[in-house]
Structure 1
Amino acid sequence: MVMDRLPKSLYTPTYARFLAELKNARIAAGLTQIEAAARLGRPQSFISKCESGERRIDVAEFLVFCRAFGIDPCEIIRAVEARSSFKTGSSISLGRRGGKNLRRDAGSIHAGQEVFSDSLTS
């Protein structure tokens, strides 16, 4: 089964919330960008680029960031999910296939369906 191409999640509201939560975690840990960068063995500009969305953070890096900030990664994921537009009982767009708009009940996201972003429309 061929799925429509996923948009770059870098430009979704969910990814923006993820970055905001990660930045909040750094600040809550009492770390400046310089101090966080030192813990990660990277320059301050690396932290700045990640927090601004100029540089994408992958899952492995996310886990290292959380360790450096002394926070459970699940806390950030829960915070992002709590503020996201895909809540149980609502539906999200899964894009288009064959001229039809595809939608799925957002409750299925929590059941582990293959949904990766809350803005998958073409």
Structure 2
Amino acid sequence: MRKSVYSQRQKMIAAALARQRRAKGMSQAEVAKVLGRHQPFIANIESGDRRVDLVELLAIAKIIDLDVIALVRDLQDTPD
């Protein structure tokens, strides 16, 4: 099994994306399609196999209506 590339903050980002995507009622494939990517791109982010950069985070957040500012506030209060 591969080791996660995520710190605690990275895990929080991945979990927030997955949680909000599900709350929005969207599948990984649906989010990926809007982004012009394949489903494994989203799966790898949510599973910890891939980090998400800021530009990708903003694009995904827009699709799933994730409040990035609130997420950043939560991240600031979490040691890395």
In the aligned structure 1, how far is the partner of 2:22 from the partner of 2:76? 20
- The residue aligned with 1:46 is 41
User: Percent of counterpart pairs with the same letter?
Assistant: 34
For structure 1, which runs of at least 5 residues remain unmatched after alignment? 1-9, 87-117
Aligned pair partner of 2:28 in 22, 33, 38: 33
Structure with more of its chain in strand, by fraction: 1
Report how far residue 81 of structure 1 moved: 4.2
In the aligned structure 2, how far is the partner of 1:63 from the partner of 1:17? 15
Q: Deviations over 1:64-111 (max 9, x none)?
A: 0111112221132234445x2x4xxxxxxxxxxxxxxxxxxxxxxxxx
Task: Give TM-score scaled by structure 2 length.
Answer: 0.79
- Give runs of aligned pairs for residues 1-122 of structure 1, distance below 5 A: 10-81=5-76, 84=78, 86=79, 118=80
Q: Which of structures 1 and 2 has the bigger CA Rg?
A: 1
How well do the aligned residues superpose, as a CA RMSD in angstroms? 1.6
In the aligned structure 1, how far is the partner of 2:27 from the partner of 2:74? 21
1:17–1:63 Cα change, 3 Å: same
Task: Give TM-score scaled by structure 1 length.
Answer: 0.55
For structure 2, which runs of at least 5 residues remain unmatched after alignment? none
In the aligned structure 2, how far is the partner of 1:65 from the partner of 1:76? 13
Q: Is the 8 A contact 1:21 1:79 kept in 2?
A: no
Report how far residue 25 of structure 1 moved: 1.2
Structure with more of its chain in helix, by fraction: 2
